[in-house]
Structure 1
Amino acid sequence: MERVLFITSTRIGDAIINSGVLNHLVETRPEAQFTIACGPLAASLFAEVPRLERLIVMRKKPMGRHWIDLWQETVGTRWDLVVDMRCSATAWTLRAEERRILKQASTPTAKVIEAASVLGLETDPPAPRLWLSDAHRAEAHTRLPDLPDGLPYLAICPSASWIFKVWPAEKFAEFILKFTAPDGVMPGAHIVMLGGPGDEKYAQPIYDALPELDFVDLLGLGLPETAACLERVRLYVGNDSGLMHMSAAAGTPTLGLFGPSDDRCYGPWGDHCDLVRGPASFEEIDSAHSDRRKHPESLLADLSVETVYDAAKRLFERTAK
């Protein structure tokens, strides 16, 4: 029996981006048992990985002591393969027949391609993958049942990890109203509001601006359950975030909204995806706001509703079944 240790990200989006590499290993090593080390936010995404022997949740500690904890948890095993997507030194200190340690690209590169390079798969990078149970999909069907007259669901995620990456709520509201209007692209579509715990502060201004619309509020829903719901959605529109990458991995037509993050690296992956940004390039925003993590407001204000509407319309039409 082979034993594989896969060390992946603490962040949801990066963990999803790396999942294609893990899926490649699952498919090409049918005798392997997998131990996966990841952060607590992403842990639930790996609970259904085939032949999962152990899931090690790395909770960040001062002075990098979480790496010591991981070493203590894994040093006693003789690994056939260690794959370290965190570029850490841990993989070098373990007993392993083979070790693959990700090296960050020196030029802006799609993160899916960068992740694939750890196995030498840059020319044919494996797409991100989600592992969901029948129970997850059954719950999704309950939360998002088939609608009368075949009406679709439009998913919106107005949050992100940082306020500067968030498209203003009033623009989201204007887009939703126009896109689902009788003469819009998805007339009568039901709106699904997505986000993590505490993201009500991003959703509430949209609710307040559109009191005439009924929303399906899935804020704070677990990650696997959210992923299963995304499989039932016709179109997703949202900021650069972990849920954007989840939507893309679920196979949902996904439009990512970009400004102060590099779309060349973090754009949603797949032919069913697209992205849009305002007139300012990433380099221009990066140069003007090198300390943007301290910026208290959105840096997507230059992204117009019309630009997002047109991009979403093109994606909707291109992905029509």
Structure 2
Amino acid sequence: MIELDGKRIVVTFLMHLGDVVLTTPFIHALRKLAPHSHITYVIDKKLADVYRHNPYIDALVEVDKKGVHNSIGGLNQIAKEIRSQGSVDVVINLHPNERTSYLAWKLKAKVTTGMSHFLFRPFMTKVTRLNRKTVHAAQMYMNVLEQLGYVIEHEGLEIFTSPEWDEKVQAFYASHGVMETDCLIGFNIGSAVPEKRWPKERFAHIADTLAKEGYKIVFFGGPMDEEMVQDVLDTMTEPAIKGTGQFSIGELASAMKRCDCLVTNDSGPMHVGVSQGVPIVALYGPSNPALYGPFTEKAVVLESMEHYDVNKNMKQVLKEGNYKGLSVISEESVLAGIRTMLERKGMK
């Protein structure tokens, strides 16, 4: 068994927003196993808010992977900066692509474990295999520790917000007339993959229905979603709050935390909502929610597929041309899901 406690540990992971949030249970589990270790997390600079206030790490190293660090020299610089703080005892690499595998190797740790690109596997102390077919992605990352012989405990997805983020969000909602007693329904209608988007006119209809019943409505999303959200707002007959493009990732977590329910496509912000304990209504397809869905029991998942072939990834499913799209999910089922989550929370 690789000893983890009392060590200088570096965790390398440079993936996307949702993937990074899904590693938070791993980090909490690692801290429980290594309470006396110094833990550094290496992250994509633009996603640093996910771990900026996480109490289970000691240092956060930000990589500008699309900018100054987008080269072997840039990765060498990151490795040099980390080693300058002291020799690394253990590196745990959580993604087997070339970039993170190279960085993990350059850290020159006494022990290098986790996942790895095949080119760097000969330099690994112990390679842990990815299980992409039978366990949720969050469990897949924690399984690295299980493959090292440890029994793990976790607390689900976690993003820790700051007073500054919370205060900005409170001022934002107050400026839009949201009262403490209001029931707030959040909508996240974007997704990096067009096939993962429910028709925007249906979001408008659902939001209008809820607004007429007295619920306050807020739309989230990044700058790339602003035009799409504006189209929805222009279609609606009832007022709604446009939070799209208004928040950093940390502030988005604070903003979602205020919601009584979040209606969302499969996307990174969905996992941000889960991290704040928000009841979720998630619209899924063609990704398998058993593997990539909301990592919480406080969710209703509406699916656009009846069967998933675990031997095929999303790109393969789409290439086959048989996927019918999220439009097979009805407005009635989404409304029913929202009402279910509100009732569970004691609201109607």
TM superposition score normalised by structure 2: 0.79
- Cross-structure match for 1:203: 229
- Cross-structure match for 2:93: 84
**Any stretches of 5+ residues in structure 2 without a counterpart?**
1-5, 116-128
- Cross-structure match for 2:17: 12
Alignment of 1:122-271 (within 5 A): 124-145=153-174, 147-148=178-179, 150-181=181-212, 187-271=213-297
- Cross-structure match for 2:339: 313
Alignment of 1:51-130 (within 5 A): 52-60=58-66, 67-74=75-82, 77-87=86-96, 88-90=100-102, 91-92=104-105, 94-102=107-115, 103-120=129-146, 124-130=153-159
SS in 1 for 2:259: coil
Q: 2:299 aligns with which of 273, 276, 281?
A: 273
Cα distance in 2, alignment partners of residues 95 and 215 from structure 1: 50
**Any stretches of 5+ residues in structure 1 without a counterpart?**
182-186
1:40 aligns with 2:45: yes
Conservation of the 8 A alpha-carbon contact between 1:255 and 1:276: yes
Which deviates further from its counterpart, 36-45 or 152-161? 36-45
Q: Quick one: structure 1 residues 298 and 156, their matched pair in 2 at CA, closer, same or farther if it must change by over 3 Å? A: farther
Cα distance in 2, alignment partners of residues 97 and 150 from structure 1: 55
Which deviates further from its counterpart, 26-35 or 10-19? 26-35
Cα distance in 2, alignment partners of residues 106 and 147 from structure 1: 42
Cα distance in 2, alignment partners of residues 157 and 294 from structure 1: 28
Read off the aligned partner of 1:228 and give its amino acid letter.
Answer: S
Conservation of the 8 A alpha-carbon contact between 1:139 and 1:225: yes
Which deviates further from its counterpart, 216-225 or 118-127? 118-127
Q: Quick one: structure 1 residues 45 and 288, their matched pair in 2 at CA, closer, same or farther if it must change by over 3 Å? A: closer
Q: Quick one: structure 1 residues 225 and 291, their matched pair in 2 at CA, closer, same or farther if it must change by over 3 Å? A: same
- Cross-structure match for 2:121: none
Q: Quick one: structure 1 residues 288 and 69, their matched pair in 2 at CA, closer, same or farther if it must change by over 3 Å? A: closer
Q: Quick one: structure 1 residues 232 and 288, their matched pair in 2 at CA, closer, same or farther if it must change by over 3 Å? A: closer
Conservation of the 8 A alpha-carbon contact between 1:230 and 1:247: yes
Conservation of the 8 A alpha-carbon contact between 2:202 and 2:331: yes
Q: CA deviation at 1:9?
A: 3.4
SS in 1 for 2:247: coil
Q: CA deviation at 1:92?
A: 4.6
Q: 1:301 aligns with which of 313, 321, 327?
A: 327
Which deviates further from its counterpart, 311-320 or 211-220? 211-220
Cα distance in 2, alignment partners of residues 252 and 149 from structure 1: 16
- Cross-structure match for 1:184: none
